[in-house]
A and B are shown apart, each in its own frame.
Chain A
């Protein structure tokens, strides 16, 4: 805990089902998630709204999305702003909300993240998302999925993990997602189905990647002292730290070094005064299966070259020693870009309070970590949570 800051807690959270929401706009989805978090306290007067979304300009030809959200939520005379960090927008949104409460600027802040993506085709989505790369990368025809493929090619050559190690990440996350009623794809997959799925970019297949989803999520943040008036079980946010890596991926020392991820986790743990062994559960940014493995290594939870052991040796499964992506992760739950970082906090909130239903982790979750990142780790935000009861 940074000494000059107030303690901050999540008192409620909301999330739409992730998936294809025909007929619903980004505004509808973000409102639905916002109302779920607010509904616990009917006439609650919040001070501030932080909205996280990447590209409604391109998806819906809509600008000023969070001012619109404030309008439909009846928020007048409040502080309202949008935060954007591509796929890490949600984590960055929580960072801003956290600082506002911690600094004393605001007492009650609602953070909402969302994206409406399925109204565009896969091809149009690839085009929009490739817009977050540097022109020198984009002009090659490279997309984020191709970077994941390059990384997998590199990783397999360097560390020689079992051939089905990526499949086991997908199988685990789909198993978790099958138990999450709000996941986009609530379906278990087999090793055979994994290997039958089409190659997107060698060696990665359709089953290695997150689907394209619509959805939104929210968290209501308060100063911890006040939070106890609203819930017996506030989830304390002990640290939120954002760190960048090189923007152009080829400038990195090695392809599997994600320095932004590593630094944000290191500093967040040190701010919270915790060690890795203290963490009971992790939600991370598995835009592709290989990223779950490499992120766990860069976060320091596995040695380099050994992150694949997590899923294969059942360590990261729901009933394992260190459950990872109990929500189903981006892989199965879906990845409506601006929503993701907030949806991770929603999952941690439920898991800590033991309200996660069928996907409740077996072990007691009293400290957790989530990490969401912009692009290919260009800008990573790590959040540390502790049970406030």
Chain B
């Protein structure tokens, strides 16, 4: 589950949260959501900032009404379904679900 912000006026889902939505509204609801999406881009980072393990896997997940950059728990090909969860400190972690064939 991931805690997200939903704009009361335009319905946009914001993560990270904003004080003012792109539509100008300042009225929001906060809900817990199951987020599952498709991995649309990924990289394995070898030169990481101080304090982070190397290599580090990250990916961009497209969940339709929301896109999120996540740290991947394990290597997965683009096109794979990813479940996004929030770890300690709010860090977004992507768990590759069933492996699908890389479309390319």
Residues in B neighbouring A146, C-beta threshold 8 A: 43, 45, 58
* Complex Cα spacing A252 to B8, Å: 21
Q: Are B42 and A136 in contact (CB under 8 A)?
A: no
Instruction: Answer whether residue B47 sits at the interface, using C-beta atoms and an 8 A cutoff.
Output: yes
Of chain A, the residue at the smallest CB distance from B70 is A140
Interface residues of A in 246-265 (CB under 8 A from B): 248-252, 255
Q: Are A255 and B41 in contact (CB under 8 A)?
A: yes
Residues in A neighbouring B52, C-beta threshold 8 A: 141
- Which one of A196-204, A234-242, A299-307 is at the B interface? A196-204
Residues in B neighbouring A252, C-beta threshold 8 A: 67
* Complex Cα spacing A253 to B48, Å: 27
Residues in A neighbouring B46, C-beta threshold 8 A: 198-202
- Contact with A140, one of B15, B47, B71 (Cβ below 8 angstroms): B71
* Complex Cα spacing A255 to B40, Å: 9
Known A126-B49, A140-B71, A142-B69: A250·B60 in contact at CB below 8 Å: yes
Q: Are B58 and A141 in contact (CB under 8 A)?
A: yes
- Contact with A157, one of B16, B67, B78 (Cβ below 8 angstroms): B78
Query: How near does chain A come to B46, taking the closest CB pair, in angstroms?
Result: 6
Q: Are A136 and B58 in contact (CB under 8 A)?
A: no
Residues in B neighbouring A203, C-beta threshold 8 A: 43
Known A150-B42, A153-B42, A153-B78: A137·B47 in contact at CB below 8 Å: no
Contact with A along B47-78 (1 / 0, CB 8 A): 11110110010111000000111110000001
Interface residues of A in 118-151 (CB under 8 A from B): 122-124, 126-127, 130, 134-137, 139-143, 145-146, 149-151
Known A139-B91, A140-B92: A154·B40 in contact at CB below 8 Å: yes
* Complex Cα spacing A248 to B71, Å: 16
* Complex Cα spacing A134 to B90, Å: 13
Interface residues of A in 100-122 (CB under 8 A from B): 122
Residues in B neighbouring A248, C-beta threshold 8 A: 16
Instruction: Answer whether residue B24 sits at the interface, using C-beta atoms and an 8 A cutoff.
Output: no
Q: Are A154 and B50 in contact (CB under 8 A)?
A: no
* Complex Cα spacing A146 to B78, Å: 16
Residues in A neighbouring B16, C-beta threshold 8 A: 134-136, 248
Query: How near does chain B come to A195, taking the closest CB pair, in angstroms?
Result: 16
12 contacts between A and B (CB under 8 A): A137-B69, A139-B91, A142-B45, A146-B58, A151-B41, A153-B78, A154-B41, A200-B45, A201-B45, A201-B46, A201-B47, A249-B69
Interface residues of B (CB under 8 A from A): 15-16, 40-50, 52-53, 56, 58-60, 67-71, 78, 89-92, 104
